[in-house]
C-alpha cells in the first residue's frame, strides 16, 4: 500500500528548507534588533480559546478550524493563528504583572481547513510578534516598520502596507448600526454568509469575497467618518510616526482583517504581483481588549502575522538571490582500510573544529568520490591513501583553484583555517 501526503500540506525537502532557514533566521535577527524575544506555545489549545479570542462569527471559527475531542472528551483545536495562544500564555503565566511593555515573537505551523492554492496550505507557517502593555501609537508604527524592514532585508520588491482604524468599544457600535442601516435595503442581494452576519457582525461584510456583495459594500459608510476623538487622534499619530520613518502606506477604510479582536489600528502587508491582483502577505493590528477577554487584566496589545509560505513563494517568483551557503568545507576521500579509519578520525576532528564535512559511505573508487565532492560543492578535498598514510600526511586540494598540497595530519585544521 502506498501513502500520500494529506491534501493541503507540503514536504519541505533540503533545497527548500535552506531557503526557509535563511528567512527564519532573518526574522529572528530583526526581532532581536527591535527588542522582541521568542516564545513557543502548543500547536493545539482548548477550542473555546479561539472561539472567544478570534471571534465566533469569523470564517476561521465558523468554517476552517481543525477541532477534535481527546480521550476525555475535551474539545481541542489545532491553532489556526498565533495571537490567541500567545495572549493565553501571557495571561496564564502572569507576565502582565511584570514591568511592561512585553515584546514577544514566534514562528511555527498553523492549521486551517481551506482550499489549498499556491502559498496557501492547510498546514501553513507564520512569523508573528506581539507587544503588550502600551497604547502608544509609536508602537503601532514600530510594529509596521519592523514588518516592512523584514521584507526589505529579504530583498522582496513591491511590498506596501495598507492601514485603517477599526475604532474601539465606544465608537464601533455606532458605526455598526450605520452599517446595518445601509445594508438592510440590500439584504436579499447579499451573499448568504453576509446575510447571516448582517445583525451579528456587519463589519465582516466589508471583508467579503463575493463580487456582488463587494460592489454593494464599496458604497457603505466609512468607519473613518465615525471615529471618536480618541480613535481619530490615535490613527493620526500612527500616520505621523509612519511619515517620520519614511514608511509608504495607503489608507484603506475597507480594511477590517479577518479576526474580531482588532481595535484601533489594522493593517495589511500587500505584495504587488505582475499581471494579477495584489495579494496579502501578512497583516495585523491592535487588540486592546483581547487580554481581558482571555482572563487577564485590562491591557493593550498589538502584533502581526506573516505567512512564510507566501514569503518563500514570492522570493522564488522574483528570483531573489539568497546568500545561502550550500557547500561543505571539506570532503574526505580515503583509499584503503587503514586510511578509511584515519580519514574517519580526520573528518570528526574537522567537524569538532567547526568545519562542515562529509565522506563516501558506498566504497566508491577515487574518481567517483571526486565527482561526489563536486556534487556536494566541497571547497576542499582531503585525499588520504596508503602513501599519504605512511607519511602521516593528507593531500589537500582546493577545488576552486585546483591547487593542492601535502599537509601533516596534525596540521590540517590549522591549514584550512589559514586558507579560508
* 262 is an annotated ligand-binding site residue: yes
Query: Which class would CATH give 14-168+228-318?
Result: alpha beta
* 112 is an annotated ligand-binding site residue: yes
Cα(133)–Cα(299) distance, integer angstroms: 6
What are the phi and psi torsion angles at 330 (to 5°)? -150, 135
* 296 is an annotated ligand-binding site residue: no
Residue ranges of E strands in 170-209: none
Pairing relationship of beta strands 404-408 and 249-251 according to DSSP bridges:
unpaired
| Beta-bridge partners for 283 | 268, 305
pLDDT, residue 276, reads: 60
Between the alpha carbon of residue 78 and those of residues 73, 84, 198, 262, 380, the distances in Å are 16, 12, 29, 22, 47
Whether the pLDDT of residue 346 is over 90: the answer is: yes
The answer to whether 53 and 83 have CB atoms below 8 angstroms apart is yes
CA 222 to chain centroid: 31
At 356, list the grid cell.
Answer: 562542515
| Beta-bridge partners for 397 | 381, 404
DSSP string of 227-288, one letter each residue: --HHHHHHHHHHHHHHHHHT--EEE-TT---S-TT-EEEEEEEEE--TTS--EEEEEEEE-T
pLDDT, residue 259, reads: 60
Pairing relationship of beta strands 330-334 and 357-359 according to DSSP bridges:
parallel
DSSP state, 225?
G
pLDDT tens-digit readout, 398-416 = 999 999 999 999 999 999 9
pLDDT, residue 200, reads: 84
Percent of the chain with pLDDT over 70: 98
pLDDT classification of 96: cutoffs 50, 70, 90: very high
Cα dihedral 138, 141, 147, 149 sign: negative
The answer to whether 203 and 182 have CB atoms below 8 angstroms apart is no
Cα(130)–Cα(87) distance, integer angstroms: 9
DSSP string of 316-377, one letter each residue: HHTTPPP----S-SEEEEE-SHHHHHHHHHHHHHHHHTT--EEE-SS---HHHHHHHHHHTT
Identify the burial level of 256 via C-beta atoms within 10 angstroms of its C-beta, where 0-12 means exposed, 13-18 middle and 19 or more buried.
Answer: buried
DSSP state, 5?
P
Q: Is the peptide bond before 101 cis (omega within 30 degrees of 0)?
A: yes
Whether the pLDDT of residue 277 is over 80: the answer is: no
pLDDT classification of 118: cutoffs 50, 70, 90: confident
pLDDT, residue 158, reads: 92
Instruction: Break the chain into its structural domains and give their ranges.
Output: 14-168+228-318, 328-415
Whether the pLDDT of residue 229 is over 90: the answer is: yes
pLDDT tens-digit readout, 146-171 = 999 999 999 999 999 999 999 998 99
Whether the pLDDT of residue 57 is over 70: the answer is: no
Whether the pLDDT of residue 18 is over 90: the answer is: yes
Q: 103-112, 276-285, 352-361: which range is least confident on average?
A: 276-285
- ∠ CA 290-279-43, rounded to 5°: 45
Cα dihedral 185, 188, 194, 199 sign: positive
* 261 is an annotated ligand-binding site residue: yes
How many of the other CB atoms lie within 10 Å of CB of 236?
A: 13
Biggest distance spanned by C-alpha atoms of the chain: 95
The answer to whether 226 and 174 have CB atoms below 8 angstroms apart is yes
Topology match between the domains 14-168+228-318 and 328-415: no
pLDDT, residue 101, reads: 96
Cα(196)–Cα(77) distance, integer angstroms: 24
The answer to whether 88 and 45 have CB atoms below 8 angstroms apart is yes
Superfamily of domain 328-415 in the CATH hierarchy: Anticodon-binding domain (3.40.50.800)
Whether the pLDDT of residue 258 is over 60: the answer is: no
* Mean pLDDT across the chain: 93
0.85 surpassed by pTM: yes
* 126 is an annotated ligand-binding site residue: yes
The answer to whether 297 and 132 have CB atoms below 8 angstroms apart is no
How many of the other CB atoms lie within 10 Å of CB of 232?
A: 16
Mean pLDDT of 293-306: 95
Cα(130)–Cα(117) distance, integer angstroms: 28
Amino acid at each position: 500500500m502506498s501513502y500520500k501526503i494529506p491534501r493541503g500540506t507540503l514536504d519541505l525537502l533540503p533545497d527548500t528548507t535552506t531557503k526557509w532557514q535563511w528567512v527564519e533566521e532573518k526574522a529572528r535577527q530583526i526581532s532581536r534588533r527591535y527588542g522582541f524575544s521568542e516564545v513557543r506555545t502548543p500547536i493545539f489549545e482548548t477550542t473555546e480559546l479561539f472561539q472567544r479570542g478570534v471571534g465566533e462569527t469569523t470564517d476561521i471559527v465558523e468554517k476552517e478550524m481543525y477541532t477534535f475531542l481527546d480521550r476525555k472528551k475535551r474539545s481541542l483545536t489545532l491553532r489556526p493563528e498565533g495571537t490567541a495562544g500567545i495572549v493565553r500564555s501571557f495571561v496564564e503565566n502572569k507576565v502582565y504583572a511584570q514591568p511592561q511593555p512585553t515584546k514577544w515573537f514566534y514562528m511555527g505551523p498553523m492549521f486551517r481547513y481551506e482550499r489549498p492554492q499556491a502559498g496557501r496550505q492547510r498546514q501553513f507557517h507564520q512569523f508573528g510578534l506581539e507587544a503588550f502593555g502600551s497604547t502608544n501609537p509609536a508602537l503601532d508604527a514600530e510594529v509596521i516598520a519592523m514588518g516592512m524592514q523584514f521584507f526589505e532585508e529579504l530583498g522582496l520588491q513591491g511590498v506596501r502596507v495598507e492601514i485603517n482604524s477599526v475604532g474601539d468599544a465606544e465608537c464601533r457600535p455606532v458605526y455598526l448600526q450605520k452599517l446595518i442601516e445601509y445594508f438592510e435595503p440590500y439584504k436579499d442581494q447579499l451573499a448568504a454568509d453576509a446575510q447571516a452576519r448582517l445583525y451579528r457582525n456587519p463589519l465582516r461584510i466589508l471583508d467579503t469575497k463575493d463580487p456582488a456583495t463587494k460592489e454593494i459594500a464599496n458604497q457603505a459608510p466609512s468607519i473613518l467618518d465615525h471615529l471618536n476623538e480618541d480613535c481619530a487622534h490615535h490613527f493620526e499619530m500612527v500616520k505621523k510616526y509612519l511619515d517620520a520613518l519614511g514608511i509608504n502606506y495607503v489608507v484603506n477604510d475597507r480594511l477590517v482583517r479577518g479576526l474580531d479582536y482588532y481595535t484601533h489600528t489594522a493593517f495589511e502587508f500587500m505584495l504587488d504581483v505582475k499581471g494579477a491582483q495584489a495579494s496579502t502577505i501578512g497583516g495585523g493590528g491592535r487588540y486592546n481588549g483581547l487580554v481581558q477577554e482571555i482572563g487577564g487584566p485590562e491591557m493593550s496589545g498589538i502584533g502581526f502575522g506573516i505567512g512564510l509560505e507566501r514569503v518563500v513563494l514570492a522570493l522564488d517568483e522574483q528570483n531573489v538571490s539568497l546568500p545561502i551557503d550550500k557547500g561543505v568545507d571539506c570532503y574526505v576521500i580515503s583509499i584503503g582500510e587503514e586510511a578509511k579509519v584515519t580519514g574517519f578520525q580526520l573528518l570528526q576532528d574537522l567537524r569538532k573544529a567547526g568545519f562542515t564535512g562529509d565522506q563516501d559511505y558506498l566504497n566508491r573508487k577515487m574518481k567517483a568520490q571526486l565527482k561526489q565532492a563536486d556534487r556536494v560543492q566541497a571547497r576542499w578535498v582531503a585525499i588520504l591513501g596508503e602513501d599519504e598514510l605512511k607519511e602521516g600526511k593528507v593531500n589537500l586540494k582546493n577545488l576552486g583553484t585546483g591547487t593542492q598540497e601535502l599537509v601533516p595530519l596534525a596540521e590540517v585544521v590549522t591549514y584550512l583555517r589559514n586558507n579560508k
